[in-house]
Amino acid sequence: MSGLFTGRYRFADKVVEVNSLYEDVHRYCAFYRTDAPAELIVTITEKDIEYERSRSEIKTWHDPYLEELAVYRKICEKMPAYGTILFHGSVIAVDGQAYLFAASSGTGKSTHASLWRKLLGDRAIMVNDDKPLLHVGDVTVAYGTPYDGKHRLSTDIAVPLKAICILERSTDNHIEKITKKEAYPMLMQQTYRPNDVSALQMTLPLIDRLADSVGLYRLGCNMDISAAELSYEFMSR
């Protein structure tokens, strides 16, 4: 067992001091390091690591990896108090506006985001490819975080969120604007719901406000670049 490791990182404009049992999480979050004074403190214990193991289908994950999960969970438990939630999705920014792709696991949201990058080149910037933080207000802002998927695609930026697009697989590409009621089940499913009751009570109205603050769309798509052409043209109007 290593000693206690400490570092400060900026998550959605909040400086978090992370006190960990292993050094790995500090390497993982290195691009988000800051010397600014801490506003939140997260300290990991063996109990936190064991909790992550109990939730995982793979019980043989090494402790340092499970600690990385535990750190983000503890951060996201605190974030609703600041109007911020964790959303499972892929966020890409184009010309200063962000678009979030949400879908059930394995549908291809990261693949669709990659088609946008292929289509738009340097105009398209990955904000976060897996677990962005969203600060919800009159305008919702998407933030890059180091928890950005297996390909480590993120940028330490904050971008106003213009739209959320729910992806479904289809042989033919088609897109439509949908209502808040239609989008709500996916928004609820993909938002992290804290274990802490008070944090959960703050999260639910944030999901509601999120739905009111952005355009909501449903895209039936295949894996051809024409799907990106359609979705970008339709949502960027």
Please report the domains of the chain, with CATH numbers, ordered by start residue: 5-82 (no CATH), 84-235 (3.90.228.20)
Q: Which amino acid is at 212?
A: D
pTM: 0.97
Whether residue 93 contacts residue 122, with contact meaning beta carbons closer than 8 Å, is answered with no
229 in helix, strand or coil?
helix
Check residue 194 and give left, alpha or beta (phi > 0: left; psi -120 to 50: alpha).
Answer: beta
Among all chains, which residue has been given the structure tokens 């509601």? 208
DSSP 87: B
CA angle 75, 78, 81 (to 5 degrees): 145
Residues 6+ apart with CB under 8 A from 36: 8, 10, 15
Q: How far apart are CA 28 and CA 145, in angstroms?
A: 10
The two tokens of residue 5 are 């490791």
Structure tokens at 36: 């600014």
Render each residue's pLDDT in the chain as its tens digit; 237 residues: 456 999 999 999 999 999 999 999 999 999 999 999 999 999 999 999 999 999 999 999 999 999 999 999 999 999 999 999 999 999 999 999 999 999 998 899 999 999 999 999 999 999 999 999 999 999 999 999 999 999 999 999 999 999 999 999 999 999 999 999 999 999 999 999 999 999 999 999 999 999 999 999 999 999 999 999 999 999 999
Q: Amino acid letter at 153?
A: L
